Amino acid sequence: MAAAGAALAARPATFGDYPVRKSDIAGSVVCIVCFLVLAVVNMTMLRRNLARGHKFIPSGAMFGLCMARIITFSMRLAYTMHPTNTNVAIAANIFLAAGVIILFILNILFSQRVFTSRHPSLAYVGSPFYNVMRVFYISVIVFLIVLIVTTGVFYHTNHTVQQGISQFRKVAMVYFVVSAFMPIPIVAAAYAIPRSEKDETWPVHYAHWIEKYSGLYAPDPRKKPSAAEFYAEIAQGETRRPVHVIPPPERGAREVSVALIVISSVILTFATAVRTASNFVVVSLLDKPWYDYRVTMYLCIALAELLVEITWIVGRVDLKFYIPDKKWDQSMSSTDSDKDGLEVDGETEGELDRVLRADDTGALEKQV
């Protein structure tokens, strides 16, 4: 008994605790099944929307998260069956840390679209706000790489190097807490900053052919206009770059959209903060705090992410946060005025400026 106690005291507590067959086999199987069901739902929605000319890439990212979590808990199962295998432990911990980044990025993207719809004169493609957001997305990926690398090498270094590596991990985790919370101040700024005259008059376009934003509604491809019809709204002589935005408040979806962002941000921030705490407090396994318990890991990883995904699916983010597609295909157009399709700007694309200036042949003047 004394030897067992000494062995436990020598092992450091870790987030999610060390796997045991009695608890982790059942818990991992349940999580795999839940994420598998959501993966099927997300892929079904993505394929259904694509078939109707409604391309919403975040649905594919949500599917990707589900697949990442299926791998995560499969590795947890393998770690449970082979607790002394260091490589399996490394893989399990890497996947445990990495998957949630997809939700961070998507929630920030949704908040960016809310800000853009409120202040198109400040958030058009190429604006300072737009460029800052691009840098922020890149920084999240960079810190994810830092977290993956430090997790991978942590088990193969001595104690001195491990202490240095842990500092990088702490910085990365704190940055992820900030990333999880970031959508709230972005949305708050969108409503706190008064709309200027430029915002009121700036040329914007949204998917006005979408009639509902809830339930089982699917956009009717026959009501989707051609590129020529869509851009016929641009005033003659307008030199400002049109901005693609989400549906305006009068369509009845904006309040729910903001609520989806805030609720998701609160859930993700709390879950990430709990995970981060385990990196700052190093204690023995005998004195582990509540946030290192196994049940905490399942709540902060599986349950939190399942809640966010279900909230987004039920809340129909594929309709509420949709902006017009980058590629307008003739098959989805109601007229034949654009035979080859027209490349237009999405929120994170830079093509519209080229299209608006590529009028050497007079094509754009004919459209407007």
Classify residue 310: in a domain, yes or no.
yes
Classify residue 38: in a domain, yes or no.
yes
Query: How many Cβ atoms from other residues are within 10 Å of residue 251's Cβ?
Result: 16
Model confidence pLDDT, tens digit, residues 84-142: 777 887 888 788 777 788 999 999 999 999 999 999 999 888 889 999 999 999 999 99
The distance of Cα 84 from the centroid of its chain, to the nearest Å, equals 34
Structure tokens at 264: 């998701």
Average pLDDT estimate for 180-184: 96
Q: Indicate the pairing of strand 342-343 with strand 327-328.
A: antiparallel
Classify residue 315: in a domain, yes or no.
yes
Average pLDDT estimate for 286-293: 72
User: Looking at residue 8, what is its pLDDT?
Assistant: 44
pLDDT above 50: residue 367: no
Classify residue 42: in a domain, yes or no.
yes
User: Looking at residue 35, what is its pLDDT?
Assistant: 96
Classify residue 338: in a domain, yes or no.
no
Model confidence pLDDT, tens digit, residues 33-84: 999 999 999 999 999 999 888 889 999 999 999 999 999 999 888 888 887 7
Confidence of residue 6 (pLDDT cuts 50, 70, 90): very low
User: Looking at residue 7, what is its pLDDT?
Assistant: 44
Confidence of residue 240 (pLDDT cuts 50, 70, 90): confident
Instruction: Name the domain count of the chain.
Output: 1
Residue 327's H or E segment, with its range, is: strand 327-328
User: Looking at residue 263, what is its pLDDT?
Assistant: 96
Strand, coil or helix: 246: coil
Confidence of residue 233 (pLDDT cuts 50, 70, 90): low
User: Looking at residue 166, what is its pLDDT?
Assistant: 79
Q: Kindly report which listed range (162-171, 221-230, 317-326) carries the lowest average pLDDT score.
A: 221-230
CB contact set of 324 (below 8 Å; sequence gap of 6+): 205, 206, 207, 230, 244, 344, 346
* CATH number of the domain enclosing 84: 1.20.1070
CB contact set of 32 (below 8 Å; sequence gap of 6+): 70, 73, 74, 77
pLDDT above 90: residue 287: no
User: Looking at residue 293, what is its pLDDT?
Assistant: 78
Classify residue 6: in a domain, yes or no.
no
Classify residue 57: in a domain, yes or no.
yes
Structure tokens at 158: 């001595």
Average pLDDT estimate for 323-341: 45
Q: Residue 312 and residue 20: Cα distance in Å, rounded?
A: 33
User: Looking at residue 341, what is its pLDDT?
Assistant: 34
User: Looking at residue 85, what is its pLDDT?
Assistant: 79
User: Looking at residue 322, what is its pLDDT?
Assistant: 92
The distance of Cα 323 from the centroid of its chain, to the nearest Å, equals 16
Q: Residue 104 and residue 350: Cα distance in Å, rounded?
A: 23
| Structural domain harbouring 55 | 11-206+249-325
Strand, coil or helix: 98: helix
pLDDT above 70: residue 343: no
Classify residue 215: in a domain, yes or no.
no
Name the more confident of 36 and 232: 36
Average pLDDT, the chain: 79
User: Looking at residue 291, what is its pLDDT?
Assistant: 72
Residue with tokens 């016929």: 232
